[in-house]
Every structure is written in structure tokens, then in C-alpha cells.
Amino acid sequence: VKAQRNPADLPWGKLGVEYVIESTGLFTVKSAAEGHLRGGARKVIISAPASGGAKTFVMGVNHNEYNPREHHVVSNASCTTNCLAPLVHVLVKEGFGISTGLMTTIHSYTATQKTVDGVSIKDWRGGRAAALNIIPSTTG
């Protein structure tokens, strides 16, 4: 187990690590996630929506666009996108189309949510105890 605040300080190369799954939520900008490459990893997969020029791939939708010589830091989108995009892709590809749509995601609570009722500066719903309530929120 290794712990470093800067991904470039992780000894991925010395450990023989080729692929890093970036799931901290802290390094979703391509340039920040590239720190893992400086640490010796060959590829980085960001497990969230990314910015800064990182290409996003969803299996069954656009995975065939992946170029291993070009794409060293990629995003696998959000869990919501991974659930919805393949369905939409098939409907559009097969000619059915979509005129309107509505999607609801039920998601487990995250580390940033309150474990007991308390004050939330962001909004009153965010102050509710996550394990005891279904709390409407945005995702991805």
C-alpha cells in the first residue's frame, strides 16, 4: 500500500505497475492525472468524467476509437453514463431514435455526504444522514 499526495511521487515504474485506475476524484483533469505517468505507469484510466483533453470511452459506444499509441490518459465516464449510453446508442443506431427521455439514478452514498443529520452549506438536502435517506442530487 502506497500513499502520496502527488501521483508523480508514486513508484509505479519500480513496482511494475502498467495501468492505474484513478478513482480518488482528485485528479480528473488530464494534466493532473498525467502525474501517474511521471511515476512510471504506462496508462491511466480516470473512473469519472474528465476534463483537459482526456478522451472519454464507453464500452459498446465508442471503445473502437481507442488508440493505444495516442491515448495514455482516458476517462471511462461516470457510472450513470456507462449505464445509459449503451442503451441510447443501440436505440439510435438501430433507427428507433429518441424524442424525449427521463432517467433516474439510484446511487449509494459517497464519502462527501453526511453520516448523521447536520448543516449543509450547499443545500438543505445535503445535510441529511446519507445512510438513512434517499437524497436527490446530481451525478457525473
Using an 8 Å Cβ cutoff, are 36 and 9 in contact? no
pLDDT in tens, 32-85: 999 999 999 999 999 999 999 999 999 999 999 999 999 999 999 998 899 999
The Cα-based distances of 60 to 16, 93, 129 in angstroms read: 30, 12, 37
Q: Which residue has the cell 483533453?
A: 53
The CATH homologous superfamily to which domain 7-80 belongs is NAD(P)-binding Rossmann-like Domain (3.40.50.720)
Identify which of 79, 70, 75 has the alpha carbon closest to the alpha carbon of residue 30.
Answer: 75
pLDDT, one tens digit per residue, over 13-31 is: 999 999 999 999 999 999 9
So which residues are the catalytic ones? 79
Res. 140 pLDDT band, cuts 50 70 90: low
Per-domain residue ranges of the chain: 7-80, 109-140
d(C-alpha 66, C-alpha 87), whole Å: 20
